[in-house]
Structure 1
Amino acid sequence: MIKQYPRFLFTILVTLAISSCKKPIQGKVKPNILFISIDDLRPTLGVYGDRVAITPHIDQLASEGMTFRKTFAQVAVCAPSRASLMTGLRPDSTRVWHLGDKFRVIDPHTVTMPQFFSRHGYHTVNIGKIFHNYMPDSVSWDEPDLRPSRYLRKEWLDRDGETFYISEAINNSQAIKRDSLLKLAPKRYADGWNTGPAWEMAEVHDTLYYDGSQNELAKRTLSRLAMRKEPFFMGLGYFRPHLPFAVPKKYWDLYDRDEIPLAPNPNVPQDAPGYTMNSMYELRHYDGFNAIGHPQSPYRMGEDTARILKHGYYASVSYVDALLGSLIAHMKKIGIYENTIIIIWGDHGWKLGDHNSWGKMTNYNIDLQVPLIVRYPNQKNRGAHTFEITELVDMFPSLCELAGIEVPAYMQGTSFVPLINEPDRTWKNAAFSQFHRRPQESADGKRYMGYSINTKKYHYIEWYTWDHKMGLRGEKKGAELYDAQNDPNETVNIIADSQLQGVVADLSKRLEQGWRHALPN
């Protein structure tokens, strides 16, 4: 587990590291970087062995790059996960533990990945969700928060791209509900627009939904950037498959709903503590789901509804896959594909009925494991897979190494470039994650911080009371242990098994020692 150093020490380290880095050699051609975030994307992709997912374009890109099969998020919710990977620091260092925590307010001197690349000769551009939706962090980019022109209305500037529908009836209903919500509290998530049905399947062109519209903007922007002398770093963040599952009908039509299997682990893990699950408040915002129960209650979602939701998630993934295919075709057309590093990642997983739940926000691996695919110029081992442990916090130092930029000394991730060159080599022996469980979301109404360590054999979690004002852990309240090899779906907490107490003691020690003791040789 990470020791909590004062923030000013990190600020000093960041400043020293940046000042010591050399500028790029003049005249040397550096690769462009296309940094692609796909919100709420778990490894529901063909290249990851999902036999249902229809994702030919991502699968094709993976066949030309490296697929990381054991990548873990540091936190299974957007803002903390993205703050961590975009700064190269872990959550107890960023002190971003939940959705409302803002790293730029906590430490205005924080240097993010695009800031760092800008200082090393890159022109940085942001389209879509790279940081959390309502925290685009304009400081990070040379061209921040670009949006399609039709979404630049004044009343929509604080609205998230995920909240738009096609149906006028839905839009009118949304506006009425938003007005009512803002009267109760003027500061609301997504500016109060995150209401409406949990899915929509309009028969429209791809570009009429937000992701499709911003994909066209990305193409135009790439054409413009291709004319510049300096290399570019473009952050492109797709909103789907985040709720609502609102995508063109043709992507729903790719699937037979009855052929999509339901979750293989539909129950909360046996003997799990009462604070382990989130309350599904995210889904509860949508029409018809206001009364759903806590996963650790007797509540069970009906099969028909579960199938529609899972169908919508798969349709949304296929929609984004098609947009990526169109984008890559454009890159080839304008001649920048071969000299561009392309990295695709999900910020955390998502439960599709797993553990009697829908959404993220737990320490379970269904929420922590994410896809990570990298393709770069002159890459060896194209189409390779590695099952060695990596983490999202590794992306910052890895992209520095791929771009020929000195890796900042303060990074808390590890460049995975050596692993690309040797996919079967021994690498990290563990990944570290955590989650802040707030009183309003836990089954017992109390506040906790859960710390997680994943090894190839086991997944171990410790839960502590948490002082959210001071950011300090208190008394240890419980623990969980899952057999990663024999129970990958995490159905039974085996922490009480008398024959495993030596394993528990070892994992507890390694969790306390933290990430520095898990680094590859």
Structure 2
Amino acid sequence: MRILLLIFSFSLLFISCNQKNKTQESSTQKPNIIFLSIDDLRTDLGAYGNKEIKTPNIDALAKTSMVMLNTHSQAAVCAPSRASALLGYRPDSTKVWHLGDKFREINPDAVTMPQYFNKAGYYTVNIGKIFHNYMPDSISWDEPDLKPYPYNTKEYSKRDAETYYYKPASLKDQKEKREILLEKRKGKVVYGDGWNRGPAIEDANVPDSLFYDAMQTKLALETIDRIKDEKEPFFMGLGLYRPHLPFVAPKKYWDLYPVGSVSPAANPKLPKNAPVMSANANYELRAYTNPYKIGRPEDESLPESYADSLKRGYYASVSFIDACVGKLVAGLKERGLYENTVIVLWGDHGWKLGDHNGWGKMTNFYIDTHVPLIIKGAKQQEGKRIEALSELVDVFPTLCDLTGVDKADYFQGTSLTPVFKNPELEWKDAVFTQFRRRPRISKDGKEYMGYSMQTKQYHYIEWYHWDNIKKEKGDFAATELYDHYVDANETVNVSGDVDKVEIVKSLSKQLAKGWKGALPKSVL
């Protein structure tokens, strides 16, 4: 009997110690990470002060998160923006300057953010658009490029996820336009297998569950169920495709925005005195079916009724994505994972909705470079709205600090954790963006590189001729200067004004010093 009691006592001690060890392990385990990229998302969110758009779920997340109010992308187009954010250094270092530049071919030994966190003990999973559509970079992930059924079958392998329509008329138009394109480009490789054609807008009266991003969100939660009990924390890259063109969203989200209910662009014209290379050509919208001719920004504006439809379509798409974010957050909470998960919600660049008479991105204008960045830390209870200038290249080192992972010495961004603790801390003097203007898009047929710097007051840009064979800038071409204290919507380029000569000289010197010259004194 005494032997049995002794065995029982040792058993209780073993169980108690084992439970204690498990508790210690769980309490010291690094937090999970949801890296939530939303394509073409500008700062039209309730959390950023837009009172017309309906984004209750993102707004709720923002209330207990760090909301960076002045974040800028490193380039206002997908591939270079994402390459910079995910490698931790800027476009002139990644050498990714435009859509066709494949970062892995250019930087074969690069260590991406998911690779970096994998080496730090994270299990990495990719669902949706994290890198550019056709370059998922499979070596970055333990589980790369997961797709919901049936979109993971061979039939859909060449298609981009934003190319799905739901109305018979839309599907018919898409098929006809694709056949015309394939005939015209016979024998040549066609981007997305030619499916990026069809109406620019669609309000299908079908359930959310049939839409690709809703299916991705469901797949994300199913995947989390499968991996959440593993020893390693997980890093999930979830890339939602809307509000990328075409503006296809369930009708119930369109119904949130009746005709004429959204305000037109506050700055519907190109800036006065804007140089020739400053504007994009609206070619992205032009690829879709529109009831009116889509001209260049230098041409006549679209009819108000169609401009209104396009903007409502964008807003409906954002509200649909907001519902997906709500389901993701609710799912994390239901699984008891929300508290110990870092969530980074970000847009890769802005998007013109008639601003500067433009539709799309691909400029150095503020409306294209300014992006939302919302970061919820593990066990975070209090949210803050932070005015400090920041950049997407800052996300990588910030994530390291939030998870206790050592930062690399080659990072060209700055961890934002100091301003999380003290939003009034003296911070960066400026943030930096650039854009390569290709000859077939530039109105004068020449090629340029524009280097942009945003300070608290000024937005300053220098354009240079660009040699894309040698990959180097040539002669100076033009300057832009916008004083945001008096002209927040960038309606007049004042770089040529007599009273701005000294300001231009000073800003030019500051731009030449680059990001290293703008580092906060507290981190030098």
TM tier relative to shorter chain: over 0.9
Q: Contact 1:125–1:235 at 8 Å: present in 2 too? A: yes
Alignment of 1:267-282 (within 5 A): 267-282=269-284
2:221 corresponds to:
219
Among residues 253, 256, 267, which one is paired with 1:254 in the alignment? Answer: 256
Q: Contact 2:68–2:372 at 8 Å: present in 1 too? A: yes
User: In structure 2, do the counterparts of structure 1 residues 26 and 102 end up closer, same or farther at CA, with 3 Å as the change threshold?
Assistant: farther
Task: Provide the C-alpha distance between the structure 2 equivalents of 1:153 and 1:279, rounded to a whole number of angstroms.
Answer: 35
Give 1:438 shift. Answer: 0.7
1:348-367, Cα deviation, whole Å (9 max, x unpaired): 00000000010000000000
2:353 corresponds to:
352
Task: Provide the C-alpha distance between the structure 2 equivalents of 1:407 and 1:172, rounded to a whole number of angstroms.
Answer: 51
Alignment of 1:68-107 (within 5 A): 68-107=68-107
2:113 corresponds to:
113
1:61-108, Cα deviation, whole Å (9 max, x unpaired): 110111000000000000010000000010000000000000100121
Task: Provide the C-alpha distance between the structure 2 equivalents of 1:131 and 1:283, rounded to a whole number of angstroms.
Answer: 22
Task: Provide the C-alpha distance between the structure 2 equivalents of 1:321 and 1:441, rounded to a whole number of angstroms.
Answer: 33
2:496 corresponds to:
496
Q: Contact 2:146–2:152 at 8 Å: present in 1 too? A: no
2:453 corresponds to:
453
2:204 corresponds to:
202
The answer to whether the aligner puts 1:410 opposite 2:410 as a matched pair is: yes
Task: Provide the C-alpha distance between the structure 1 equivalents of 2:132 and 2:193, rounded to a whole number of angstroms.
Answer: 14
Point out the more displaced range, 280-289 or 167-176.
Answer: 167-176
1:17 corresponds to:
none
TM-score by length of 2: 0.93
Task: Provide the C-alpha distance between the structure 2 equivalents of 1:291 and 1:187, rounded to a whole number of angstroms.
Answer: 27
Unaligned runs of 5+ in 2: 1-23
Give 1:153 shift. Answer: 2.9
Task: Provide the C-alpha distance between the structure 2 equivalents of 1:462 and 1:509, rounded to a whole number of angstroms.
Answer: 11
2:329 corresponds to:
328
Q: Contact 1:130–1:235 at 8 Å: present in 2 too? A: yes
Q: Contact 2:339–2:380 at 8 Å: present in 1 too? A: no
Among residues 284, 287, 296, which one is paired with 2:286 in the alignment? Answer: 284
1:151 corresponds to:
151
3-state SS of paired residue (1:195): coil
Alignment of 1:435-450 (within 5 A): 435-450=435-450
Task: Provide the C-alpha distance between the structure 2 equivalents of 1:448 and 1:128, rounded to a whole number of angstroms.
Answer: 32
1:388-433, Cα deviation, whole Å (9 max, x unpaired): 1000000111101111011000000111011111112111110010
2:373 corresponds to:
372
1:240 corresponds to:
242
Task: Provide the C-alpha distance between the structure 2 equivalents of 1:496 and 1:377, rounded to a whole number of angstroms.
Answer: 49
Task: Provide the C-alpha distance between the structure 2 equivalents of 1:123 and 1:377, rounded to a whole number of angstroms.
Answer: 17
For 1:484, give the aligned amino acid.
Answer: H
User: In structure 2, do the counterparts of structure 1 residues 197 and 262 end up closer, same or farther at CA, with 3 Å as the change threshold?
Assistant: same
User: In structure 2, do the counterparts of structure 1 residues 289 and 440 end up closer, same or farther at CA, with 3 Å as the change threshold?
Assistant: farther
Task: Provide the C-alpha distance between the structure 1 equivalents of 2:442 and 2:436, rounded to a whole number of angstroms.
Answer: 10
Q: Contact 1:450–1:464 at 8 Å: present in 2 too? A: yes
Give 1:181 shift. Answer: 2.3
Give 1:173 shift. Answer: 3.6
Task: Provide the C-alpha distance between the structure 1 equivalents of 2:202 and 2:64, rounded to a whole number of angstroms.
Answer: 34
For 1:266, give the aligned amino acid.
Answer: P
For 2:171, give the aligned amino acid.
Answer: N
Unaligned runs of 5+ in 1: 1-24
Give 1:290 shift. Answer: 8.0
2:49 corresponds to:
49
User: In structure 2, do the counterparts of structure 1 residues 254 and 272 end up closer, same or farther at CA, with 3 Å as the change threshold?
Assistant: same
State how many pairs are aligned. Answer: 495
Q: Contact 1:71–1:370 at 8 Å: present in 2 too? A: yes
Point out the more displaced range, 324-333 or 161-170.
Answer: 161-170
For 1:256, give the aligned amino acid.
Answer: P
Task: Provide the C-alpha distance between the structure 2 equivalents of 1:112 and 1:286, rounded to a whole number of angstroms.
Answer: 33
Task: Provide the C-alpha distance between the structure 2 equivalents of 1:289 and 1:389, rounded to a whole number of angstroms.
Answer: 40
Q: Contact 2:347–2:371 at 8 Å: present in 1 too? A: yes
Give 1:150 shift. Answer: 1.2
Give 1:156 shift. Answer: 1.5
3-state SS of paired residue (1:514): helix
Q: Contact 1:284–1:290 at 8 Å: present in 2 too? A: no
1:310 corresponds to:
311
1:173-227, Cα deviation, whole Å (9 max, x unpaired): 4234324423415322222110000111111111111111111111111111212
Task: Provide the C-alpha distance between the structure 2 equivalents of 1:512 and 1:108, rounded to a whole number of angstroms.
Answer: 29
Point out the more displaced range, 26-35 or 135-144.
Answer: 26-35
Point out the more displaced range, 155-164 or 117-126.
Answer: 155-164
For 2:520, give the aligned amino acid.
Answer: P
3-state SS of paired residue (1:133): coil
Point out the more displaced range, 224-233 or 354-363.
Answer: 224-233
1:303-362, Cα deviation, whole Å (9 max, x unpaired): 000000000000011000011101111111111100000010000000000000100000
Q: Contact 1:37–1:238 at 8 Å: present in 2 too? A: yes
3-state SS of paired residue (2:277): coil
Task: Provide the C-alpha distance between the structure 2 equivalents of 1:290 and 1:104, rounded to a whole number of angstroms.
Answer: 39
Q: Contact 1:283–1:289 at 8 Å: present in 2 too? A: no
For 1:492, give the aligned amino acid.
Answer: V
The answer to whether the aligner puts 1:434 opposite 2:434 as a matched pair is: yes
Task: Provide the C-alpha distance between the structure 1 equivalents of 2:64 and 2:415, rounded to a whole number of angstroms.
Answer: 20
Give 1:26 shift. Answer: 8.0
2:481 corresponds to:
481
Percent of aligned positions with the same letter in both sequences?
Answer: 55
3-state SS of paired residue (2:451): strand
Q: Contact 2:67–2:385 at 8 Å: present in 1 too? A: yes
Give the superposed CA RMSD. Answer: 1.4
Task: Provide the C-alpha distance between the structure 1 equivalents of 2:37 and 2:198, rounded to a whole number of angstroms.
Answer: 24
The answer to whether the aligner puts 1:383 opposite 2:383 as a matched pair is: yes
Q: Contact 1:33–1:234 at 8 Å: present in 2 too? A: yes
Task: Provide the C-alpha distance between the structure 2 equivalents of 1:194 and 1:261, rounded to a whole number of angstroms.
Answer: 28
3-state SS of paired residue (2:501): helix
Q: Contact 2:428–2:518 at 8 Å: present in 1 too? A: yes
Task: Provide the C-alpha distance between the structure 1 equivalents of 2:327 and 2:219, rounded to a whole number of angstroms.
Answer: 12
Task: Provide the C-alpha distance between the structure 2 equivalents of 1:201 and 1:50, rounded to a whole number of angstroms.
Answer: 23
Task: Provide the C-alpha distance between the structure 1 equivalents of 2:292 and 2:111, rounded to a whole number of angstroms.
Answer: 40
Q: Contact 2:463–2:476 at 8 Å: present in 1 too? A: yes
Task: Provide the C-alpha distance between the structure 1 equivalents of 2:81 and 2:181, rounded to a whole number of angstroms.
Answer: 28
3-state SS of paired residue (1:250): helix
